[in-house]
Structure 1
Amino acid sequence: MTYHSGSRAVQDRVGVRDLADHVGRAIGQGIRPVAAAFLELQPMLVIGAADPDTGAVWASLLTGEPGFVRATGPHRISVRGGLCEGDPLTAALATAGTAVGTIELDPRTRRRMRLNGRVTPTARGLAIDADQVFSNCPKYLQRRETYERVERAPEATRHGSELTPSQREFIEAADTFFIASVHGHGADASHRGGNPGFVHATSPNELSWRDYPGNSMFLTLGNLSADPRAGLLFLDWTSGAVLQLTGRARTEFDAHGERTVRFAVEAVAETPGASPLRWTAPEYSQANPLLS
């Protein structure tokens, strides 16, 4: 099933059902050779799911030497290694059958690939059997020339129920974040990008951002219309710090057709040095709207 009722409702409200049907033909279950080759070149993977105990949705970061993610068949990928200690998705990824959404993003080439499916824990990490595989255009992706691997160990994860002043500053300086969402048949992980300041930390308990025009599938907003649970992941591309938020999101539509997503924070997890990757400074996408 390409779209569920939540995505259809948003498509109909915006008036893009026919376009969504056309774009949706690109969604398949198979991993093509070009996609398999792309996966093996990447040093990181973003994964989203719901915690089996609390139901909270989180997005997490996995890293490794290129090749740590690889296609092992036309419908399966393997991921070598695991999450940082204390990551809120640890239980979910250790539970066979957990629905996950993943996004593989290469800042060097501004390419991205999404694969959604079900997890099987393995002796070396995990495997994911694909339900949906597709690529997106490079719109709103910032280009980062290259990265280096830095010898640093993740610090202990700091947990909280609201954002600290420094975390709010970090969010408002971000040019990229990832969002995980769920629906009755699975999970999804997606990317959001813009010029620094495109995300507003309006209070210690709420974020907001404008939903820029995209591929018209409305997978994320469709999920949120059916189930408001969501997880956000912000990455410091230099220091490797990771900021994870879980909460509930809603979409507001104005009379001019613009959309704003408001996210209510329920829990926060911050891990300094979670990623060993240090990326070069960004070249912002020309598609990013100017901020007023």
Structure 2
Amino acid sequence: MDDTTPAPYHPGSLAVQARVGVRAAAEHVGRSIGRGIRPVAAAFLELQPMLVIGAADGDGHVWSSLLTGPPGFVRATGPTTVAVRGGVPAHDPLAAAFPEGRRTPVGTIALDPRTRRRMRLNGTATPTPHGLAVQAHEVFSNCPKYLQKRELYETDHPAVPGPVHHGEHLTPAQAEAVRAADTFFVATVGPDGAPDASHRGGNPGFVRVVSPAELTWPDYQGNAMFLTLGNLVADARAGLLFLDWATGATLQLTGTARTEFTPEGRTVRFTVTGTAETPHAAPLRWSAPEYSPANP
């Protein structure tokens, strides 16, 4: 493998890797990305009560969405296939993003705060009578950096989501929730339209609300892949998901993002074009966090 043909990265990720000076490290880490779901990965998936997905809606807006269910609701059904029981909730912006008879590109991340483990699986999804069937194209795990540890202390809270509040910009209460967040999920798409779902974490305040229409966050040192920032080089669309771990409420944002490179580091600047806030969207209730020792 040479510098001009390094799978599995597209030109956007390669450009960021070269700019930051981590091409060799990225090439090494990239060898961990495969198409198959190993037994340890399959076992991990079956223990998870939640899965985050990223995709574009019918208007091309990118969203990051939360799916939940009893352990086993996400299950490997073959070496490259996964079944997600229940699918996307009817209230979610991506509820109509997976039409019958079509393979829709999707990115997923299973993150377990109890163990600080996470796994990403990207591919295509088709609807089934019981939910979604996902065909994996990329499967890989990430390190536990910036994952806050939480205990799951309630899973059977009545899953009755409140009415969804839609908007174009953040309300004052939503801005405060973003400022208090220690974790969010981000969905992006590559030059071929293939989505990726990832995680960002830090101490509360690491996400700054510049205005009701603009957020920023620092891009901390990670695994050198630069899949998210690489996608943003190719396609500025992005979707963010903030979860209230104590109440199960979700705040989903769609918009565009770009990365600013300075001698002091990298900052991602996100422009909000749409919001969807859902009270009690998830039946899961989590403990207060034990912050990651990697957080700056």
| TM-score tier (shorter) | over 0.9
2:216 to 208, 214, 219: 208
The 8 Å contact of residues 53 and 109 in structure 2, kept in 1 or not, is answered as yes
Residues 208-257 of structure 1, C-alpha deviations (whole Å, 9 max, x = no match): 0000000000000000011000000000001000000000000000023x
Query: Structure 1 unaligned runs (5+)?
Result: none
Distance 1:94 1:102 in 2: 18
Distance 1:15 1:76 in 2: 35
In structure 2, what residue type is equivalent to 1:281? A
TM-score (norm 2): 0.95
Q: CA shift at 1:146, angstroms?
A: 2.4
SS of 1:18's equivalent in the other structure is helix
Structure-to-structure mapping, 1:1-292, within 5 angstroms: 1-51=7-57, 53-94=58-99, 96-149=102-155, 150-185=157-192, 186-256=194-264, 258-289=265-296
The 8 Å contact of residues 152 and 284 in structure 2, kept in 1 or not, is answered as no
SS of 1:134's equivalent in the other structure is strand
Task: Calculate the aligned-residue CA RMSD, in Å.
Answer: 0.9
Residues 257-292 of structure 1, C-alpha deviations (whole Å, 9 max, x = no match): x00000000000000000000001110001000xxx
TM-score (norm 1): 0.97
- Count residues in correspondence: 287
The 8 Å contact of residues 48 and 100 in structure 1, kept in 2 or not, is answered as yes
Residues 117-164 of structure 1, C-alpha deviations (whole Å, 9 max, x = no match): 001110000010000000000000000022312124101111000000
Distance 2:95 2:132 in 1: 11
Residues 57-116 of structure 1, C-alpha deviations (whole Å, 9 max, x = no match): 000000000000000000000000032322111121335211110000000000000000
The 8 Å contact of residues 84 and 154 in structure 1, kept in 2 or not, is answered as no
Query: Structure 2 unaligned runs (5+)?
Result: 1-6
The 8 Å contact of residues 251 and 260 in structure 1, kept in 2 or not, is answered as yes
Distance 1:201 1:84 in 2: 28
- What stretches of structure 1 move > 4 A for 4+ residues in a row? none
The 8 Å contact of residues 54 and 195 in structure 2, kept in 1 or not, is answered as yes
Identity over aligned pairs, percent: 69
Q: CA shift at 1:183, angstroms?
A: 1.1
SS of 2:41's equivalent in the other structure is helix
